[in-house]
Structures are given as structure tokens and as C-alpha cells.
Amino acid sequence: MSDHEEQPANRLRKELPAEVPPSPSASGDGDPGEARPERSGLTGRQRLLKGLWPPRLTRAQLIVALLLFGLGFGLAVQVASNSDSDSALRGARQEDLVRILDELDDRTQRLEDEKQGLEKQRDELENSSDQAEEARKQTLEKERQLGILAGTVAAQGPGITVTIEDTKGTVEADMLLDAIQELRAAGAEAIQVNGVRVVAGTYLADADNSVSVDGNKINAPYRFQVIGEPQDLEPALNIPGGVVQTLEKEQATVTVERSSKIVVDALRAAERPDYARSSSQ
């Protein structure tokens, strides 16, 4: 080719503009997925991770997840424990298995001994309850007995009736007091004189040709109702130089009658001491 022919071609190349790279938007047929990474600078994996973390959970979903996690963990531990136990027993020697059986027998025996001990304690509690009931009954009986001695409750039983006739008016308070003392010494448990209960603190005094008992004036005939053993009470009054002989010297008449049932029903009001208190309080 000649130089003349090459010159138009060179001129034509010089006149054409430089090639401009196509813009991404201009390529309508291109893949959109390839254009986005170039704009955002992130790959598909990075965008996936960004969408999953941090997780966006509701409160209900979080609670359910925690429950499922706990349930799964418990099941895993249980399965592992059972597997360990089974494998340990399967791999144990005969001597080890015999020792395990002996330990189980010993534990069973200890439990049986503990059961018997508890049953024994139960029986002791039941017996102590019976004893407590018996003690309560004895306490009530003791209270009744003390009430008889204190004159706060009525009493009945075998005893004697002593009647003193004083037509001359010569019987004095000290003579009646001697009779009471002799009866107490002979075992009298309850005494009543003309409707007045005689107790430990009873006092007698002369009052206008009569006698007063604890401030209550009584007149002849003086009638004693006494509960006790008749065979002991009557002889105590009839001893030589005793109550009967002394009263007969004063021209009084004394009559003693035994009875299988003497009723002492005169009562004293229970008095609360002003200063004395039980030492157990």
C-alpha cells in the first residue's frame, strides 16, 4: 500500500472520539445482582450475615428458645448419666457387682432399722399419751382429795356420827376442839359440825353460853359427822381420860354411831391467798 492510501485512514482514526466505557445503567441486559455489589461494596455472604446478626427476636420467641434449650440440656444429661451407669455396670467385675449388692442390702437393712426405730418412737409417744392421760386423771383425783380436805367439795363415805347433848350448858369450845383433834389423829378425812365444815384453819371460841365455829354460832346438841374408818375413830374417843370421859364429867351425854355412809356436804368457798403463790409458777 502506498503512503497516499495510508494518510486518509490515519486521518479517520484521529477524527473518531476516544472510546467511552459504558455506564452500568446503560446495560439493560446486564445482571442486577452484579451491579449491586459494585454500588454497595458488599458481597452476597456479607449481606446474609448482616441480615441474620444481630438477631431480631420477640420476647415470646426468646422464652420458647430458652425453654427448648433447657429441655434439651436436661435430656442430654439424663441420657449421658444412664449411659454411664449402664456402661459402668456392664464393665464391672464380679467382685464389684457383689460389693454393690452388699451395699444395697446394708442400705435396705439400715432403712428397716430406721423404720423400726420410728415405730418404737410412735409406740413410746402413744404410751406417753396414755401416761399423760393417767397423770391427768390422777391430778383430778388429787384435786378432788385436796378439795375434800379444804372443804370446797362434798364428800361421803364410811364413818361415825357423834352427838353431844349439853343440857347443863357446861360444854366449852376447848372440849369440842379436843374432840376434833382426837378424830383427826385417828384418821378422820372430813368433819362437819352442825352444818359447819371443819378444815385445817378452823377455830372454835366460846360465845354467850354456846360455841362458835369459824365465827358461826352453833348450839347444843353438837352433832359431828365424820368420815373415816369407824373402827379407828370410835376407840379414839373412848380411850381412858379421853373426850368421852371428859364430857361425861361435865354432865354431857355422848353418843357414837357407826355408819357405812356418812355425808359431809357443808362447803367452804375457795379462798385465794393474797401473798402465797405456787412455786411452780
Q: Can you give the pTM of this predicted structure?
A: 0.51
Task: For residue 163, give the 3-state DSSP assignment.
Answer: strand
Residue 38 pLDDT grade (very low, low, confident, very high; cuts 50, 70, 90)? very low
User: Range with the lowest mean pLDDT among 97-106, 151-160, 194-203?
Assistant: 97-106
User: Range with the lowest mean pLDDT among 14-18, 169-173, 220-224?
Assistant: 14-18
Q: Rounded to whole angstroms, what are the CA distances from 100 to 104, 110, 129, 227, 280?
A: 6, 15, 43, 77, 58
**Residue 126: how many other CB atoms lie within 10 Å:** 10
pLDDT digits (tens, 9 = 90+) for 65-113: 778 888 888 877 777 666 655 565 666 677 767 767 777 787 788 788 8
Per CATH, the homologous superfamily of domain 157-264 is: Protein of unknown function DUF881 (3.30.70.1880)
Average pLDDT, the chain: 78
User: Range with the lowest mean pLDDT among 38-47, 183-192, 203-212, 216-225?
Assistant: 38-47
Average pLDDT value for residue range 243-257: 93
